Amino acid sequence: MNNTVLLLDNSDNVGVALMDLFPGNQVMLNGKSIEIQDFVAAKHKFAMRAFAPGEEIYMYGTTVGEATQAIPEGGAITLQNIRHKTKKYQVQTGGYSWNSPDISSWKYLTFMGYKRADNQVGTANIWLVLPMVFCENTNVQLMQEAFENALGLKKMNPYERQIRTLISGLNGEKFTESVAQKTETFESKIFPNLDGIRFLTHSMGCGGTRQDAETLCALLAGYIHHPNVAGATVLSLGCQNAEVRILQEKLQALGCTKPLVICDQQQSGTTEALLNRAIEDTFHQLILANQATRQPAPLSYLSIGLECGGSDGFSGISANPTLGAVSDLIVALGGKAILSEFPELCGAEENLIQRCESPELAQKFIHLMETYNEAAKRVGSGFDMNPSPGNIKDGLLTDAIKSCGAAKKGGTAPVSDVLDYTEYATKPGLNLLCTPGNDVESTTGLAGSGANIILFTTGLGTPTGNPIVPVIKVSSNSKLVKKMADIIDFDAGTIIEGLDTPQSAGEKLMKMIIEVASGRLKTKAEEKSNFDFIPWKRGVSL
C-alpha cells in the first residue's frame, strides 16, 4: 500500500490522506499528479479534481456526499464544503456471483466449545441472573455481591487502594503508586467449568409501550437461549408489562429447554424470602451447569457478530475490511456472520440489495431501513445525523462516508437472511440485523440474536464488552494500540503501514478467534469486566 495517499476505488474522485499533507505537497493517485492546496490531516480526504457546487463526491465507488461550494483540485474535503448525499438505490436481485475465499487450511480446524442439547455450540459457559423489570435491579445487585464475594469471583477494585492511600496521606504524603500494577483478581475453584455468573440490569420492563415490553422479553429469551448460557435465574416483581408469561412464550418459540429459576417478589412476600429462594435454587443449578466441559467443534458452529464503535477515517480501510475477510471465511466454512447497525448502512444499500438471495429478503431490508429512518426523522433526526463529533474529527464527515466503510465488515458474501431486532439467527451465511448504531445497544442485540463471538472495530478506542459474549476489539491504526493497550486485542493498523492486507490480517484474526472461542485467551473487555447491556427502547415512556 502507498503509505502517503490512497484511492479506494478507481471511480472515486477524492483521495484519502494516510499521513498529514501540507499545501504544496505533490501526491500521485491513479496515474495523476495532484498538488495539495490545503492542510489535509491523516484520515481526511482531498479533491482529485475541481468541484462545482452540487457535484457528487464519490468514495468506495459510490456517492457519499455533494459539494456545497467550489472545491479546487487538491483542496481539503471538509464539513464546510460538502454535505451528506447518497445514491438512490435500485431494487435488483439475482445474478450475484460470489468468489468465496480458499478455506482449505481452515475447514478441518476446530475450537473447544460447549455443545448444547439443541446442537448450538457455546464459546463460554455462563449462568445468567436477570430482572424482568427495573424494579428488581437492586435485588439482582444484592445477588451479585453475595455470589461474587462467597465464590471468590470478586475482583479487587484497584482504585479503592488509591483512595485508601489518599486518605492515609492526608498528612501531606503524595500518592505515586501505579494503580494498574496493584490490580488483583481471584478465580473460583468451586465451579471450574463455569466461565462466570453474569448479572444483568436494565431500565425497562414497565412504564413504556407494550411493544417495548414484548421486545424486551424477546431479547431476554435470546440471551437465555444463547449457546454461551447454561441457564438463568429470572427475578420478577409480578405486576410489570414484561410478564414472565411473555418470556416463556418467546423461549418456547425458540425451542429453548434450558433450566430456569423464576422468582416473583409479590408472590414471595418479603425481599428476604425472594432472595433466599433465588440464591438456593441458583446454587443447585450452578452445580449442574459446572458439569459441562469443552469439546472440539467445527468452525461452522461459530456465529460472528460484526460491530464498530468510535470509528475513524481508517476504519473503512483497515479494520472493517479485515472483519470482512473473516466474515467471508466464516460464511465459506458454513458458519454465520451477523452485520448490525442499520444507520451505518445508509449509502451502501444497493450493494447489499444486490447480494440478497431473494427479492423477499431485499424488500425486508429496504422496509426495515426506511421505517427506521422515517422514525428518526419524526423526532427531528435521521440517518444523516449519525456521525458523532469524534467520527467527524477523524475524517468521517457524512453518514454515507461512515456507512460505506462500516459495510466493509460484511465482506462480499451473499446475504442469506435479514433480521429485525431480537430475531434469532438460524441460517448459515451473512445475516443483516437491524440495530441502532449505538455501540452497546447494538452489541446487546448481536448477542441476543445468537452471536457467540463479537468482533468490534474502533479507531478512537472504546471499552465496550458484553456479559455473555467475548468481544474482540480490533484497532484501525497502530497508534491506538499503543495508546490504549488495555482495551485493544488486535492491531489492523498494519494494513495502513503496508505490512498486511485485509486478507492476511483476517487470517491472523481468525487464529485469535479460535483461541478466544476455545477459552484459551481472554479478551481485554473480559479481563476488565466490561459487561455492558442496554436494550434498544423504540417507544416512549408512559
Reading phi first (left if > 0) and then psi (alpha if -120 to 50, else beta), residue 485 is in alpha
Q: Cβ distance 205 to 131 under 8 Å?
A: yes
Phi and psi for 80 in degrees, rounded to 5? -80, -20
pLDDT of residue 539: 81
Q: Cβ distance 235 to 132 under 8 Å?
A: yes
Name the 3-class secondary structure at 85.
coil
Q: Cβ distance 310 to 462 under 8 Å?
A: yes
pLDDT of residue 184: 45
| Amino acid in the structure at residue 94 | G
**Torsion over CA of 506, 507, 512 and 515, rounded to 10 degrees?**
140
151-208 pLDDT tens trace: 888 777 878 877 877 887 786 665 555 554 544 444 557 899 999 999 999 999 999 9
pLDDT of residue 541: 75
Distances in whole angstroms, Cα of residue 77 to Cα of each of 53, 62, 292, 404 = 13, 16, 56, 17
Find, among 280, 46, 29, 237, the residue nearest to 143 by Cα: 280
Sign of CA dihedral 263, 264, 268, 269: positive
Phi and psi for 209 in degrees, rounded to 5? -75, 155
Is the confidence at residue 282, as pLDDT, over 70?
yes
Segment among 7-21, 67-81, 174-188, 419-433 with least mean pLDDT: 174-188
Find, among 43, 29, 9, the residue nearest to 397 by Cα: 43
| Distance, CA of 516 to CA of 429 (rounded, Å) | 21
| Mean pLDDT score, 340-350 | 91
Name the 3-class secondary structure at 178.
coil
Q: Cβ distance 180 to 157 under 8 Å?
A: no
| Mean pLDDT score, 280-294 | 97
291-300 pLDDT tens trace: 999 999 999 9
pLDDT of residue 173: 61
| Amino acid in the structure at residue 477 | N
Is the confidence at residue 376, as pLDDT, over 90?
no
| Distance, CA of 499 to CA of 376 (rounded, Å) | 41
Segment among 216-220, 427-431, 538-542 with least mean pLDDT: 538-542
**Residue linked to cell 413504556:** 208
Q: Confidence class of residue 393 from pLDDT cuts 50, 70 and 90?
A: confident
321: enclosing H helix or E strand: helix 319-332
| Mean pLDDT score, 49-77 | 93
| Distance, CA of 59 to CA of 504 (rounded, Å) | 24
pLDDT of residue 270: 97
| Mean pLDDT score, 135-163 | 89
Q: Confidence class of residue 217 from pLDDT cuts 50, 70 and 90?
A: very high
> pLDDT above 70 covers what percent of the chain?
96
| Distance, CA of 477 to CA of 253 (rounded, Å) | 43
Q: Confidence class of residue 12 from pLDDT cuts 50, 70 and 90?
A: very high
Q: Cβ distance 366 to 92 under 8 Å?
A: no
Q: Cβ distance 346 to 396 under 8 Å?
A: no
pLDDT of residue 183: 44
Please provide the distance, in angstroms rounded to a whole number, between the alpha carbons at the two ends of the chain. Answer: 55
**Packing angle of the helix pair 319-332, 502-517 (nearest 10 deg):** 60
| Distance, CA of 229 to CA of 197 (rounded, Å) | 10
Q: Please, what is the average pLDDT of the chain?
A: 92
| Distance, CA of 182 to CA of 197 (rounded, Å) | 24
**Residue linked to cell 498486511:** 500
251-276 pLDDT tens trace: 999 999 999 999 999 999 999 999 99
Q: Cβ distance 524 to 489 under 8 Å?
A: yes
**Residue linked to cell 438460524:** 426
Q: Cβ distance 223 to 448 under 8 Å?
A: yes
Name the 3-class secondary structure at 298.
strand
Name the 3-class secondary structure at 263.
strand
Contact residues for 164 (Cβ-Cβ < 8 A; gap 6+): none
| Amino acid in the structure at residue 81 | N
pLDDT of residue 175: 52
407-424 pLDDT tens trace: 999 999 999 999 999 999
pLDDT of residue 182: 47
Q: Cβ distance 348 to 358 under 8 Å?
A: no
Q: Confidence class of residue 362 from pLDDT cuts 50, 70 and 90?
A: very high
Burial of 283-310, coded b for 16+ CB within 10 Å and e otherwise, reads eebbeebbebebeebbbbbbbbbbbbbb
442-464 pLDDT tens trace: 999 999 999 999 999 999 999 99
State the maximum Cα–Cα separation within the chain, in Å, rounded to a whole number: 79
